[in-house]
Structure 1
Amino acid sequence: MLIAQYDSVLVVISILVAILASYTALDMAGRIHATARKGAILWLIGGAIAMGIGIWSMHFIGMLSFRLPIPLGYEISLTIFSLVIAVVASGFALWRVSQPVLPVSQLCVSAVMMGSAIATMHYMGMAAMQMRPGIEYDPTLFALSVVIAITASGAALWIAFILRKNTPHVILARMGAALVMGAAIIGMHYTGMAAANFPIGSVCGAASDITPGWLALVVIVVTLAILAIALLTSVLDSRLESQTSILAKSLALANQELTQQALQDNLTKLPNRTLLEDRLDQMLRKASREHTRFALMFLDLDGFKAINDSLGHHVGDLLLIEVANRIRNSIRGQDTAARLGGDEFVILIEIAEPEDAATVAEKLCDLINKPFYIENQELGVSASIGITIYPEDGRTPHDLLINADAAMYHTKSAGRNGYHFFESSMNINVHNQLQLIQDLRHALENKEFVLHYQPKYDASNGQVVGMEALLRWQHPARGLLAPGEFIAVAERTGLILPIGDWVLDEACRQMRIWFDTGYTEWKVAVNLSAIQFSNGQLVEHVSATLKKYALPAHCLILEVTESTAMQDVESSMTILTELAVLGIDISIDDFGTGYSSLLYLKRLPACELKIDRGFINNLAKNTDDESIVSAIVALGHSLNLRIVAEGVETEKQQDMLKSLGCDTLQGYLLGRPVAPAQLMLNLDEAPDAPARPVSSNV
């Protein structure tokens, strides 16, 4: 027999190619499993070609490493056909492991089919040498090579099926499996080569077709390139798929968050108005279809605004969260509690009788009336609830909500901390409120507001020292309205800001006229609402208005109520100091009705205190009010503040206030609020001479 030899370099390369081809096969199996149907077909075709070429190249490089002491070659058609067999076998293997299940029986059948195909590829490659006489095979080694091929195929199919999913550490597992599979393929090939015997005198009939040498280098380069491209494509696709998956999860999460934001109140996590409308619509359709009832409750917190304004929005938000939790825990799973905004909540409950709604409302009132502990502070609020019943109180969402709102306001007007069922008479008040809001919105543009001015007198000599500007609304249908009839609505709707701006502008305009007329010592006083005072643009707006009319700052007094100034003392001191720096006088209005700290009062840059008219009313009736007024005067003078007493209506009150030391007096006894023209006529008719300031009471 001819003695065979092997090129050790090519043998090593064939082993590496076998391992690389095995890893490529495992990776392709994973790509096929992870890809949708259309993409999986493309990966199956591409993977079959790459894997088939890899297996065939390992075989062919192993053949090229084989050396005999005669010229060798390989017939082209059989060599190509052996490549086709390798590709088909690879395609079958990849298809098999891409199936959802791989029973043992199918695994065995597939292993026999694939092992037979690989053995056929190998021995067809051997036949491509066209040896004469033919190659003699050792039956034992021949059979062993086929068994190895079938066993290796079975192991490869099972490993590929197990490792097709992208589980943690799957890459390391595939590397280890590739070593095992590569060794099995190499074992089959070289066992088959060992089975071949070449008699002395044998001649290779294909020595002139495909010859070794440079061909080995070409096959190695092309094979490695194909396998590398296949692996690189798979890795890039895997990363792209991973990034796409991450992006899809991020988009899904973002979509979920957007949905929650669109349907859920960000603060309390209760359903918002949008989701409430949907739930209410569903409940309406169900009740209409099944002829059942349900109740809609409109709940508003009593005392929340004072807490929110005095302790800050942070504490207010925490309080709303706790209130929402109590409401949520007090209703059934099929019921709905929603927050409309601010301190307004709506509860939808299924009921059999109206009494069921009363039971729930009473439970809510009791729960909310219990103390809340927020940041080591005990806080107390109560609930005003209005209740409507479907279908008696409305058959549309709009009617049910409007009527429940009307019932809630009726509860507030009746003393708060309770509930009332809707009655048709309540709609009259609601209609009036809505009409008043509509009229207020048009009052500014229609120039329906006017300012009346009430003089202020020096208590010692009776001379006019200024004016307080008082807002009036010349309503087209209801006549002249005082602030008490519309200011609360203006504050609740936010219209107080443009109205307050107009008052300041108009008062300064009128003061400019008086200043030019010669009343340069007068001061006009303008009252600021709590909402105006908390507006961050207040100082800039006041400064701009003074510049607009070229009015000296000392001609303007801004009146701030004691309770407003004490809500946020540090912020108040900052704002009042900035106003005082401009040269504007600051007056603390309604003094004595709040709970001022003398320490803070001493630090406020105020020029005067106005004693609340409540103390003046009973001044001559032997009450304690005389002692209170005397104390306020003494306190004010100790702080170098002017003391103004308003609401002077009798001469006895006037005499007592003078004797107690008040600096300035105003009231109906001395002069009623009138329009500017009438005011000047009244002053001309009076025996007094000089004149001074003006103030605007919104």
Structure 2
Amino acid sequence: MQGHYNIWIVLLSFAIAVMASYSALNLAGKITRSSGRTRTIWLIAGSVVMGMGVWSMHFVGMLAYHMDTTVTYDTTTTILSSLGSILASFIAFRITARSQSSPLRYALGGLIMGCGIVAMHYAGMSAMRMPGEITYDVPLWLLSAFIALAASYAALYLFHKLRYSPDFTLWKLISAIVMGIAICGMHYTGMAAAKFTSSGEIHHAMGSGEPQFFLLFGVTVSTFFILAVSWGAVFFDRHVLEKMAYYDQLTNLPNRHDLQRFFNEKNDRLTQGAFLFIDLDRFKMINDTLGHDVGDMLLQQVADRLRLCVTDGEMIFRLGGDEFLVVARTPEITVLEQLAHNLLNQIKQAYFIEAHELYVTCSIGISHAPFHGVDRSSLLKAADTAMYAAKVDGKNRFRIFDEEMSRNQIRKLVLEKDMRKAMVHGEFTIMYQPKWDTGSDQLSGMEALMRWQHPELGSVSPSEFIAVAEETGMIIPMTRWMLQEVCKQNKYWQENDNIHTCISVNMSIRIFESQLLFEMVDEALRISGLPGHYLELEITESIAKSDVNDIIEQLRSIRDLAVKVSLDDFGTGYSSLGTLDELPVDTLKIDQIFIHKSAQLSKQAIISNIIAIAKNLNLEVVAEGVETQDQIDILQSRGCHVMQGFYYSKPMSAQDMTAWLEQKQQAVTV
């Protein structure tokens, strides 16, 4: 009894194998790129598509062979045979579906998937019900098993290599065809290994004369399922997941991930074009005072205005928070400058949100490819650096990156890195500048000032490293250390040199924000044993404007320790005179900008008013930045007698300060 193959059904089985392979290749990338629950969903979908595809191909191949005998199939065994292929595919994908997989993982995954396919095939063969028995040719049986293992290993390897490929590529199609040939090769080799024995004769026994309805129905459903999952995955990926992954939900602008995809499509190179990095000015204050809902609506309106400024050749991305990026294709500097002007003008117009009329500006940094780099990271870094320079220069402006900015940025990074070990290596020192009472001609107090002697860069300006310390938060441990050292030194002077004076230490806004002020001051006084009235904290008006009620509460808490407070740089900050009487301060310090220009009548009038305010509020007054006798005369004539500046002394080390005081005492004695 001899059978024959229906060539059209054979081709159909091959088409199903290719289709299943191609669909599984598409889903493999989604498995690798996803995580959590989404990853599990894609794992299940990919496993079902692969397993059901191989199962459908197998039974279509069975139907392709016709014999003159009736063949039926056990329904339970047939259904269970598909589960083996699906389960094996799931385990194999689970083992190998990661960004980096070793050859050992591929081998293990291929072994599991291959065993699952072999089990599915021969379980399906055992589901056949016909007169006679099936025996197998061992060499052909082993060859079919080997083909299944090799095909599974190749499939997993191709899944990994093509995981980031687009939905359609020629290589993906070729790979699917190769996998289809391998799967069909395993199937038809396995069928050739089977021998049918009936009435003492041995025949090739593959297939049935009249296919069962349920088998045709099962294969049809499986095929449609594969197509449905594949098309559904493409639709879901393009219209749902892509929207979630690559677009900002608030502004509906492309996000940072889409920027990465944009560069991936260009092989991570932008050979011509520019980045305009946009950061809103004062947005945090609006967000904090009016609430996040108003802040979100403001960002939406900003995004709408950005869209009005760009042309078809430019793209807008929201990088996060109040940061946006415009990618321009033009290489012309004049065009980029005009675009930056348009962006600045659009954003600074009034915003009407609920009952609020808001005004916000932005700072823009521009980097230009290829002069400032061609990769995403270099261009972003250069544009960010230029944007920061725009903020330093006064905000509401744009800056184009240059090498000077690069050097400043590198120096800033070096300072930030080395600052963390500077305290350990003893690179920070404390200098003391005296405050002199011209009325009694004696020391009235001192101000402690931190200095940094960098082992390679030399002396670093306080205005430079203090700003870095505040940005990084290092100012908190630095201030804690300084308070303890100053209190110890003051205690030493009292016990050994009979110097009893108050020393002031500058406080950063970061100390108040940390809510550690009382703890740090109390700790320094306890460790040193210094009475609190010998310590003074200097704050600036910019600190007082941050959160007046919180600042007042924290300053009142240290009043319990008898610590004094002075308001530095008075007249140059933003504090309101209406709250000055509420601040628990003991001293006003006249900023040196007024002292240096004290020859001007207008500045003399301001100085007189500051002194009058201090006297009316029963506050002491100190003039800083005194350098000439004329300045001393002007200040004394208006009632200010405590002064600080280079006329008396520059900041000195503790040892030099001791020697300086001895000289002063000797001069008075003489």
TM-score range, shorter chain: 0.5 to 0.7
Aligned length: 433
Cα shift at 1:268: 6.4
Task: Decide whether aligned partners of structure 1 residues 323 and 675 sit closer, same or farther in structure 2, where only a CA change above 3 A counts.
Answer: farther
User: Which of residues 335, 340, 348 in structure 2 aligns to 1:361?
Assistant: 340
Q: Is the 8 A contact 1:512 1:549 kept in 2?
A: yes
Cα shift at 1:470: 0.8
1:278 to 2:256 alignment: no
Q: Is the 8 A contact 2:386 2:400 kept in 1?
A: yes
| Deviation larger for 321-330 or 608-617 | 321-330
Aligned mates of 1:338, 1:331 — CA distance in 2: 12
Aligned mates of 1:429, 1:406 — CA distance in 2: 9
Deviation by residue 1:499-536 (Cα, 9 ceiling, x = unmatched):
22232222222222223336473111011122223222
Aligned mates of 1:312, 1:587 — CA distance in 2: 33
Pairing of 1:484-563 with structure 2 (within 5 A): 484-517=463-496, 519=498, 521-563=500-542
Q: Is the 8 A contact 1:299 1:345 kept in 2?
A: yes
User: Which of residues 407, 427, 441 in structure 1 aligns to 2:386?
Assistant: 407
1:449 to 2:428 alignment: yes
Pairing of 1:633-644 with structure 2 (within 5 A): 633-644=611-622
Q: Is the 8 A contact 2:316 2:325 kept in 1?
A: yes
Corresponding residue for 1:127?
none
Deviation by residue 1:19-49 (Cα, 9 ceiling, x = unmatched):
xxxxxxxxxxxxxxxxx99xxxxxxxxxxxx
1:664 to 2:646 alignment: no
Corresponding residue for 2:602?
624
Task: Decide whether aligned partners of structure 1 residues 279 and 358 sit closer, same or farther in structure 2, where only a CA change above 3 A counts.
Answer: farther
Q: Is the 8 A contact 2:509 2:543 kept in 1?
A: yes
Q: Which has the higher contact order (CA 8 A, sep 6+)?
A: 1
Cα shift at 1:385: 1.9
Deviation by residue 1:585-638 (Cα, 9 ceiling, x = unmatched):
11111111134333311111111111111111122x242222221221121111
Aligned mates of 1:322, 1:489 — CA distance in 2: 33
Deviation by residue 1:655-689 (Cα, 9 ceiling, x = unmatched):
32223222421111112211000110011011379
User: Which of residues 652, 655, 659 in structure 2 aligns to 1:674?
Assistant: 652
Pairing of 1:252-401 with structure 2 (within 5 A): 273=256, 275=257, 278-282=260-264, 284-285=266-267, 293-302=272-281, 322-327=301-306, 330-331=309-310, 336-340=315-319, 343-351=322-330, 357-373=336-352, 378-401=357-380
Cα shift at 1:643: 0.7
User: Which of residues 650, 661, 664 in structure 2 aligns to 1:683?
Assistant: 661
Q: Is the 8 A contact 1:462 1:688 kept in 2?
A: no
Pairing of 1:60-139 with structure 2 (within 5 A): none
Aligned mates of 1:377, 1:589 — CA distance in 2: 35
Deviation by residue 1:286-332 (Cα, 9 ceiling, x = unmatched):
867xxx74432222334557767898989777755654453356446
Q: Is the 8 A contact 1:602 1:639 kept in 2?
A: yes
Deviation by residue 1:25-78 (Cα, 9 ceiling, x = unmatched):
xxxxxxxxxxx99xxxxxxxxxxxxxxxxxxxxxxxxxxxxxxxxxxxxxxxxx
Cα shift at 1:365: 1.4
Task: Decide whether aligned partners of structure 1 residues 415 and 538 sit closer, same or farther in structure 2, where only a CA change above 3 A counts.
Answer: closer
1:473 to 2:452 alignment: yes
Deviation by residue 1:419-457 (Cα, 9 ceiling, x = unmatched):
344445543333233223223333223221111000112
The higher radius of gyration belongs to 1
Aligned mates of 1:606, 1:589 — CA distance in 2: 10
Q: Is the 8 A contact 2:366 2:398 kept in 1?
A: yes
User: Partner amino acid for 2:260?
Assistant: D
User: Partner amino acid for 2:509?
Assistant: A
User: Partner amino acid for 2:325?
Assistant: V
User: Partner amino acid for 1:282?
Assistant: N
Q: Is the 8 A contact 2:331 2:368 kept in 1?
A: no
SS in 2 for 1:393: coil
SS in 1 for 2:618: coil
TM-score, structure 1 as length reference? 0.55
SS in 2 for 1:472: strand
Unmatched segments (≥5 aa) in structure 1:
1-35, 38-251, 691-698
Aligned mates of 1:444, 1:372 — CA distance in 2: 47
Aligned mates of 2:530, 2:333 — CA distance in 1: 63
Aligned mates of 1:504, 1:375 — CA distance in 2: 47
Deviation by residue 1:104-131 (Cα, 9 ceiling, x = unmatched):
xxxxxxxxxxxxxxxxxxxxxxxxxxxx
Unmatched segments (≥5 aa) in structure 2:
1-47, 50-235
User: Partner amino acid for 2:423?
Assistant: L
User: Partner amino acid for 2:406?
Assistant: N
Q: What is the percentage of aligned positions where both structures have the same residue? A: 41
Deviation by residue 1:198-243 (Cα, 9 ceiling, x = unmatched):
xxxxxxxxxxxxxxxxxxxxxxxxxxxxxxxxxxxxxxxxxxxxxx
Pairing of 1:686-697 with structure 2 (within 5 A): 686-687=664-665
User: Partner amino acid for 1:471?
Assistant: M
Aligned mates of 1:342, 1:443 — CA distance in 2: 33
Aligned mates of 2:363, 2:519 — CA distance in 1: 39
Task: Decide whether aligned partners of structure 1 residues 343 and 578 sit closer, same or farther in structure 2, where only a CA change above 3 A counts.
Answer: farther
Aligned mates of 1:316, 1:688 — CA distance in 2: 64
User: Partner amino acid for 2:454?
Assistant: H
Q: Is the 8 A contact 1:280 1:397 kept in 2?
A: no
User: Partner amino acid for 1:506?
Assistant: E
Task: Decide whether aligned partners of structure 1 residues 444 and 276 sit closer, same or farther in structure 2, where only a CA change above 3 A counts.
Answer: farther
User: Which of residues 642, 649, 655 in structure 1 aligns to 2:633?
Assistant: 655
Q: Is the 8 A contact 1:467 1:522 kept in 2?
A: yes
Cα shift at 1:270: 5.6
Q: Is the 8 A contact 1:491 1:531 kept in 2?
A: yes
Task: Decide whether aligned partners of structure 1 residues 624 and 388 sit closer, same or farther in structure 2, where only a CA change above 3 A counts.
Answer: closer
SS in 1 for 2:515: coil
Q: Is the 8 A contact 1:463 1:688 kept in 2?
A: no
Task: Decide whether aligned partners of structure 1 residues 590 and 355 sit closer, same or farther in structure 2, where only a CA change above 3 A counts.
Answer: closer
User: Which of residues 576, 581, 601 in structure 1 aligns to 2:560?
Assistant: 581
Pairing of 1:412-423 with structure 2 (within 5 A): 412=391, 416-423=395-402
